Amino acid sequence: GAGVSQSPRYKVAKRGQDVALRCDPISGHVSLFWYQQALGQGPEFLTYFQNEAQLDKSGLPSDRFFAERPEGSVSTLKIQRTQQEDSAVYLCASSLVMGLAGGLGANEQFFGPGTRLTVL
């Protein structure tokens, strides 16, 4: 596709519900990232995939958060038993590669429009 897409754009959940957020990266991009952005703050790293392998999940705030990318393309971020503090915008980004393996510029990240999650 032309850019990174995310769905849904908005999600309202009752506390305790499970939610699933989807990310479609730019076609051919190897690396995929999830970020969480609280109101008035910069995005914070959650997790990173290279193809289907989840290489870093150190930013996931609790074991209620789970991400997958089973075929190395589309990714899903799942939040179980949502809490009010999970309310935020969840951003997905993709890049051609990670680091400088693909040459200068190959690790430039491109972001989707985000999913705004509100937990009541």
Partner 1 sequence: GIQVEQSPPDLILQEGANSTLRCNFSDSVNNLQWFHQNPWGQLINLFYIPSGTKQNGRLSATTVATERYSLLYISSSQTTDSGVYFCAVEGYSSASKIIFGSGTRLSIRP
Chain contacts with partner 1 (rule: CB under 8 A): 33, 41-45, 48, 55-56, 58-59, 89, 91, 98-100, 104-105, 107-111, 113-114, 116
What is the three-class DSSP state of 46?
A: strand
Which of 86/114 has CB closer to partner 1? Answer: 114
Tokens 């969840």 -> residue: 90
Which of 12/55 has CB closer to partner 1? Answer: 55
Residues 6+ apart with CB under 8 A from 61: 36, 46
Which of 66/102 has CB closer to partner 1? Answer: 102
**Shortest distance, position 78 Cβ to partner 1, whole Å:** 21
Taking Cα atoms as reference points, which of 109, 86, 114 lies closest to residue 33?
109
**Shortest distance, position 100 Cβ to partner 1, whole Å:** 6
**Shortest distance, position 88 Cβ to partner 1, whole Å:** 11
CA distances 42 to 37, 49, 69, 88, 106, Å, are 6, 21, 25, 11, 23
What is the three-class DSSP state of 56?
A: strand
**Shortest distance, position 33 Cβ to partner 1, whole Å:** 7
